[in-house]
């Protein structure tokens, strides 16, 4: 880096700015390079010190700059969440209205919301009451608070899943591997009461039991509900909950690339047009007599 900066300076690009600038840039280069190398080394050492298995990369249909979510898969993933994960995990940043036009029609989403009871109030007499959910309601949590969640799960807290894909290294690959990676503990690994062995979980001992088996959930679209299919769909769903705006962002990328390419072409043309007189002029020296 420093060498590169030095070379740029040597190429006299910055010559007019004097020696101080050159030194400043070199220092910046050295510091920048050093910090970069340190960050890289720290990242590598963290990876090397963990004893967990690294999740292999799966060919997700939404991988790539111009790909959108597989919405049928997101919908199936919602069904898995509803039938399996919801018993323990909250999804507090997703509201029923988010499902509309993404995985469900408005009527379907309203019906989904109406299935849960939501605490509301106070009413005119100052009492709190329960009512069926509406589109504007957020997904309800299975437990009233963290202590209740821990008490029901052997002391471990099932984390909120809304942003879990962004919160774990490996993202949806990790979720898929975690859900399908349960094994008998290898010789020498001692698990405590209520713990299970999963090589993808840091430390190997996870308090969540294996939840996905073949036919552990039912799909309304008739897709065979194998364990890996369930895991793939719920991982796709959780990627969507982490980034519901992904489709819009990618659409904007396509529009922006189209627009800026056009603008770049026009700018280039105008630049040529304006500079042509300057660039093709001829300077002649005529000595006065």
Query: Where on the chain is the footprint of ligand HEC (CB under 6 A)?
Result: 80, 84-85, 87-89, 153, 156, 158-159, 164, 168, 175, 178-179, 201, 206-208, 211-212, 234
Which residue lies nearer to ligand HEC by CB, 13 or 202? Answer: 202
* Min dist. Cβ of residue 43 to ligand HEC (A): 18
How far is the C-alpha of 236 from the C-alpha of 231, rounded, in Å?
Answer: 9
Residue 146: CB minimum distance to ligand HEC, A:
12
Q: Which is nearer to ligand HEC, 21 or 228 (CB)?
A: 228
Give the C-alpha separation, 207 to 198, whole Å: 10
Nearer to ligand HEC, 80 or 109 (CB): 80
Looking at beta carbons, which residue is closest to ligand HEC?
85
Tokens 């060498």, located at residue:
3
Nearest to 137 by CA among 101, 109, 164: 109
- The answer to whether the bond into 118 is cis (omega within 30° of 0) is no
The span from the CA of 139 to the CA of 230, in Å, is: 20
The 3-state DSSP class for residue 37 equals helix
102 is in an annotated binding site: no
Which is nearer to ligand HEC, 90 or 98 (by Cβ)? 90
Element at 197 (helix H, strand E): strand 196-197
CB-wise, 99 or 179, nearer to ligand HEC?
A: 179
Is 273 flagged in the annotation as binding?
no
Which ranges constitute the DSSP H helices of the chain?
A: 2-10, 18-49, 71-83, 106-114, 146-152, 164-167, 171-180, 227-242, 246-279
Which residues are annotated binding-site positions? 85, 88-89, 208
Which residues are annotated binding-site positions for heme c? 85, 88-89, 208
């Amino acid at each position: 880096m420093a060498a590169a900066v030095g070379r740029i300076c040597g190429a006299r690009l910055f010559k007019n700015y004097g020696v101080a600038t050159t030194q400043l840039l070199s220092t910046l280069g050295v510091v920048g390079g050093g910090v970069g190398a340190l960050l890289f080394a720290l990242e590598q050492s963290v990876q090397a010190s963990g004893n967990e298995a690294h999740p292999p990369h799966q060919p997700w249909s939404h991988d790539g700059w111009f790909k959108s979510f597989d919405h049928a898969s997101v919908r199936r993933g919602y069904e898995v969440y509803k039938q399996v994960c919801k018993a323990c995990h909250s999804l507090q940043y997703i509201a029923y209205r988010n499902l509309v036009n993404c995985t469900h029609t408005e009527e379907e989403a309203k019906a989904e919301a109406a299935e849960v009871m939501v605490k509301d109030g106070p009413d005119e007499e100052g009492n709190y009451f329960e009512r069926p959910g509406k589109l504007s309601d957020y997904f309800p949590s299975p437990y009233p608070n963290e202590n209740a969640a821990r008490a029901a799960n052997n002391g471990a807290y099932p984390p909120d899943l809304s942003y879990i894909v962004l919160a774990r290294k490996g993202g949806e690959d990790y979720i898929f591997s975690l859900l399908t990676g349960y094994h008998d503990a290898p010789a020498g690994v001692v698990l405590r009461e209520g713990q299970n062995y999963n090589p993808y979980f840091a430390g190997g001992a996870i308090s969540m039991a294996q939840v996905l088996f073949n036919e552990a959930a039912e799909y309304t679209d008739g897709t065979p509900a194998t364990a890996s299919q369930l895991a793939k769909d719920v991982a796709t769903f959780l990627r969507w909950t982490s980034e519901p705006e992904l489709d819009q962002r990618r659409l904007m990328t396509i529009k922006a690339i189209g627009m800026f390419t056009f603008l770049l072409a026009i700018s280039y043309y105008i630049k040529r047009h304006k500079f042509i007189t300057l660039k093709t002029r001829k300077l002649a020296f005529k000595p006065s007599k």
